[in-house]
Amino acid sequence: MTSTASARPLRVGVVGLGWMGQVHARAYTRVGQHYLDTPLRPELVAVADTATDERVARAVAAYGFTDVHADWHELLERDDIDVVSITGPNFIHRDVAVAAAQAGLHLWLEKPAGRDAEETAEIAEAVAAAGVQSTVGFNYRNAPAVELARALVAEGRLGRVEQVRITMLADYAAHPEGALTWRYQNRWSGSGVLGDLVSHGVDLGRYVVGEVESLVCDTATFIPERPALSGAAFAHTARGGGPLAPVENEDYAGALLAFAGGARGTLESSRVAVGEQCTYGIEVHGDRGALAWDFRRMGELRVCLDQDYTDAAWATRFVAPGDGELGAFQPGSGIAMSYDDLKVVEAHRLVRSIAEGVPQGATITDALQAARLVDAMATSARDRRWVDVDAPRVSP
């Protein structure tokens, strides 16, 4: 067994040291603490971030990076980087990811990978051509209860899956005085809630139930104008002080989904849902049972199994070691995991991918299929019609 002390170093660069960049940095440092037999030991080397405020300087010092670059090109040109995390705004993802792959660097890329399916396909092609490994930030599939749900469906414990309901509701954009940041302008973001939250929802549906073959979608923008920024800001909570300007993308999306196995589903997502914070979850009903998962109660899976067709009762199952990756974090059932823990799982799967040369967890292929589904929803909402979605193509 390989010990953490004898593991070979895996040298890390991070592009964008905001909240998500810091989540990645923490995750890298914790891989060896939770997975003692890791063959590679991540070491934080350098950051690229255009911000020059004290926040970035303090974060760099806190995580122990040795160098900071104002230009991400400089980071990719270094000869002491093996893997790069891309956690900046959507509009840099494609350019940084393609350049990193071409430089022979492995990728940990936040979603949406590109602003649309075309950009995401460019990243996937670059990753395949370079033969590097990729991981994409679909962290909700890493929850042990979601892994358990996937297993129950695959084992046929629910019978034939008939109905699926996916919910991704948040209030981060609910304030009408929230500033018109890059998130609300398509040339920077590519889309609104479709890329931000729906991409997570469709990945959750694909992972637990299977592929979506066709869909119809409706979208709406409930806050059509926002005040312009008076200075630079990226946070969800930024307030604007300038004149009102148009919001270019959607606040809300609702879709009907037709799954390959015959199941029918709904997906509803909003970034302006007052009273809802991280209300993310999935419910699956089969002809013999059902299950439901809510991110806010991450360690619980509600199940309705092994009963009669009518008057069946629900029970709550707390995940235990042996369900997903819980055993790497907690010794027993009922002890909670955190959002950051899900990112440690993600980082570990990337490390394994690099060490073994075999993709683990969510990859750029998954991001590309999510992007195709998101693009199909945008097309459906625009054209007011059902849209077919091609099955994912396996990466070489």
pLDDT in tens, the chain (396 residues): 556 667 899 999 999 999 999 999 999 999 999 999 999 999 999 999 988 778 888 999 999 999 999 999 999 999 999 999 999 999 999 999 999 999 999 999 999 999 999 999 999 999 999 999 999 999 999 999 999 999 999 999 999 999 999 999 999 999 999 999 999 999 999 999 999 999 999 999 999 999 999 999 999 999 999 998 865 555 566 777 789 999 999 999 999 999 999 999 999 999 999 999 999 999 999 999 999 999 999 999 999 999 999 999 999 999 999 999 999 999 999 999 999 999 999 999 999 999 999 999 999 999 999 999 999 999 999 999 999 998 886 543
Torsions phi, psi for 234 (to 5 deg) = -130, -15
Distance CA 286, CA 259 (A): 13
Considering the entire predicted model, what is its pTM? 0.95
Residue 96, classified by CB atoms within 10 Å of its CB into exposed (0-12), middle (13-18) or buried (19+), is: buried
Domains and CATH numbers, the chain: 4-139 (3.40.50.720), 140-335+362-388 (3.30.360.10)
Nearest to 119 by CA among 226, 179, 195, 185: 195
Residue 268, classified by CB atoms within 10 Å of its CB into exposed (0-12), middle (13-18) or buried (19+), is: middle
CA distances from 314 to 280, 297, 301, 303, 305 (A): 20, 16, 10, 6, 8
Helix/strand/coil (H/E/C) assignment for every residue in the chain: CCCHHHCEEEEEEEECCCHHHHHHHHHHHHHHHHCCCCCEEEEEEEEECCCCCHHHHHHHHHHCCCEEECCHHHHHCCCCCCEEEECCCHHHHHHHHHHHHHCCCEEEECCCCCCCHHHHHHHHHHHHHHCCCEEECCHHHHCHHHHHHHHHHHCCCCCCEEEEEEEEECCCCCCCCECCCHHHCHHHHCCCHHHHHHHHHHHHHHHHCCCEEEEEEEEECCCCEEECCCCCCCCCCCECCCCEEECCCCCEEEEEEEECCCCEEEEEEECCCCCCCCEEEEEEEECCCEEEEEHHHCCEEEEECCCCCCCCCCEEEECCCCCCCHHHCCCCCCCCCCHHHHHHHHHHHHHHHHHHCCCCCCCHHHHHHHHHHHHHHHHHHHHCCCEECCCCCCCC
Distance CA 160, CA 309 (A): 13
